[in-house]
Structure 1
Amino acid sequence: MSENQSEALRQLSREKMRWHGENFSGKRLLVQCEQGLRDSLQFCRYLPLVKARGGIVQLSVQQPLLRLFANLPGVDELIEHTAATFAQAQFDLTVPMMNLPYILGTTLHTIPASVPYLTVEQRSIDIWHNKINCSASHLRVGLAWGGNQVTILGQSRTCGLNAMVPLARIPSVTFYGLQKDATTNAANTPPPGMRLVDLTAEIADFADTAALIMNLDLVIAVDTAAAHLAGALGKPVWTLLAAVGEWRWLLTGNDTPWYPTMRLFRQTNPGDWSGVMAAVEQELRALLSATAK
């Protein structure tokens, strides 16, 4: 979305009443996914709590998430997050999605962390099962190695596929690329010895990514949308964090109150992913050994 479109949304939002958490029975509330895809995936969990306070809940969401969010609990109407559709929407109140944790009084102990809160149609899961073509004896692991390259923070979250060389040494593992952006081309030249299957050309949106993830045993990803999606689906996910992390991951610890099935691997030194990958290699070998028994 362009800056002009974003400003148009902000102006329209100011002209409507902002919701502050009160009961809105008999009214229409528009919740805006105004930040990035990671944020939409993480905070859509609040929609059932919003719905419990009143009337009709509309959700404006980014186009790649429309099909995945089609049956999201707590949402009555789903629209694409653009200035044009926003201007035509009929609503009485509006609120940015990222305001919901504050409005609803969230603490570390009251985060709505039941998973899965996103689901995938069984038909889609079956279709992607047929695409995977993996030996039943192999562990199936999804990989995402890059953040948004347009931003400095996105670049700092990026480890790159070559940093995952230690994982290539592990036998009986088939990896699947989940990277669908400028860093996707790296999958064409994976580290020597790594069995990496790249099906991203067949991924149309996050509903497809979700169906693929549902067929995997584990996702290993930097802090990108793929990690949040796996957590929202209730799948095992190991998230690789840069030393300068974001508020959502707190400062220490290898778990997170946001996603019960997620494990965190933190950088010790900024820019150095070697320690992270050594730890991931060790844990992946242990997982492979445990599943082989």
Structure 2
Amino acid sequence: MSIADWTDAMRAARYDTAWSIEQETLAARDPATRDDPARPYHERWVWDGRTFDDRDVLVRCYHGLGDTLQFARYLPALAARARSVVLEAPARLHALLHIPGVALAAFDPAHPLPPSQVDIEITELAFALRIAPGDVASSYLSVAPAPLRDDTIGLCWQAGDWDTKRWVPEALLLPLASAHHCLSLVSAPTTLPVLNPEGCPFDLPATAALVAGCALVVTVDTMIAHLAGALGRPTWLLLKTEPDWRWNPARRDSDWYPDIRLYPQSTPGDWAAPLAAVARDLATFEGDLNGQPAQSLGARLLG
């Protein structure tokens, strides 16, 4: 079995198959390479298959902020089985991750915490617990929303520098930003006609409050998508032709977040089709966006 087989299984929601592939991979690993300090953090494997029932567990967050937010949904299930759980996560996320039974520690890449009885990387939790994404709470973060207008749309067009193919050129969002009441969720200045041309604060609690106050978030595949999904906000996700393993470009929905819609490219590098689909779908709710709602925009978007 290959990584392509695993990706196909995850996209098709054949989780038992995906976990069988992961089990085969785990069994074939050399234990001496576990949490290998010679490798970059995002390439390491951590969990060696040992049970975490009634044991002290250290959950390490070696991937991106979005990965941590996506898999934080599994922490309550882990805490219910372990004697104690410590989440070693980036300090920027701590204000969002108040989970009963889970203690927080700041992840310092230069000085990671020493091993516990059981160590596991947070993205390994679904496999280790054998819990599908739809079998745990999908809206598991909660913050007080910023006081925004009921028709505010949050826009995020940039992802991490390591994959700029996920980025949408800012200028392509000008028609959307000009036609609607929009807010930037990018932490950089913009020339788009948005409420905050100076950009979104580089502060995750403040960003989360803005996301929570939006009626809709339109974003590329980045941390903002996971933050909006975990907050239960309607989210329209712009995807490159061959997206990350967690999104199935043949679907419009996702098991990870029931409030998300997928808008994949039809041709590599061409954002015209997904943006046209977003524009068409927004037109359906034009009456709401012009302040004449029969019900809230959020309710209409989810309907």
Common fold: TM-score over 0.5: yes
Judge conservation of contact 1:176–1:199 (CA < 8 Å) in 2.
Answer: no
In the alignment, structure 1 residue 20 sits paired with structure 2 residue 43: no
Judge conservation of contact 1:50–1:74 (CA < 8 Å) in 2.
Answer: no
* C-alpha distance in structure 2 between counterparts of 1:21 and 1:177, whole Å: 44
Q: Which runs of 5+ in 2 are unaligned?
A: 1-34, 295-303
Aligned partner of residue 83 in structure 2, secondary structure = strand
Query: What does residue 176 of structure 1 align with?
Result: 183
Size of the aligned set, in residue pairs, is 253
* C-alpha distance in structure 2 between counterparts of 1:195 and 1:54, whole Å: 46
Query: What does residue 91 of structure 2 align with?
Result: 63
Judge conservation of contact 1:9–1:86 (CA < 8 Å) in 2.
Answer: no
CA drift of 1:235 comes to 0.6
111, 119, 144: which one aligns with 2:142: 119
* C-alpha distance in structure 2 between counterparts of 1:166 and 1:100, whole Å: 41
* C-alpha distance in structure 1 between counterparts of 2:213 and 2:74, whole Å: 26
Judge conservation of contact 2:241–2:265 (CA < 8 Å) in 1.
Answer: yes
Aligned partner of residue 91 in structure 1, secondary structure = coil
Aligned partner of residue 249 in structure 1, secondary structure = coil
Percent identity of the aligned residues? 32
137, 158, 179: which one aligns with 1:146: 158
Query: What does residue 3 of structure 2 align with?
Result: none
Query: What does residue 159 of structure 1 align with?
Result: 168
Judge conservation of contact 2:138–2:256 (CA < 8 Å) in 1.
Answer: no
CA drift of 1:245 comes to 0.8
Query: What does residue 227 of structure 1 align with?
Result: 225
Q: Deviations over 1:236-275 (max 9, x none)?
A: 1101011011110024110000001111111100000011
Q: Which runs of 5+ in 1 are unaligned?
A: 1-5
Alpha-carbon spacing, 1:11–1:165, altered in 2? closer, same or farther (3 Å)? closer
Judge conservation of contact 2:53–2:83 (CA < 8 Å) in 1.
Answer: yes
Alpha-carbon spacing, 1:74–1:9, altered in 2? closer, same or farther (3 Å)? farther
Judge conservation of contact 1:253–1:264 (CA < 8 Å) in 2.
Answer: yes
60, 82, 95: which one aligns with 2:120: 95
CA drift of 1:199 comes to 6.0
Judge conservation of contact 1:166–1:278 (CA < 8 Å) in 2.
Answer: no
CA drift of 1:229 comes to 0.3
In the alignment, structure 1 residue 259 sits paired with structure 2 residue 288: no
Query: What does residue 82 of structure 1 align with?
Result: 108
Q: Deviations over 1:113-160 (max 9, x none)?
A: 52320111x4xx3xx32xx5x5x6xx20000001112x1xx2010012
For the aligned residues, what is the CA RMSD?
2.6
Aligned partner of residue 254 in structure 1, secondary structure = coil
Q: Deviations over 1:212-249 (max 9, x none)?
A: 11111110000011111000000111010110111100
Report the TM-score when normalising by structure 1. Answer: 0.78
Report the TM-score when normalising by structure 2. Answer: 0.75
Q: Deviations over 1:31-89 (max 9, x none)?
A: 011101111111111111111212100001112212211x12441x10111145523x5
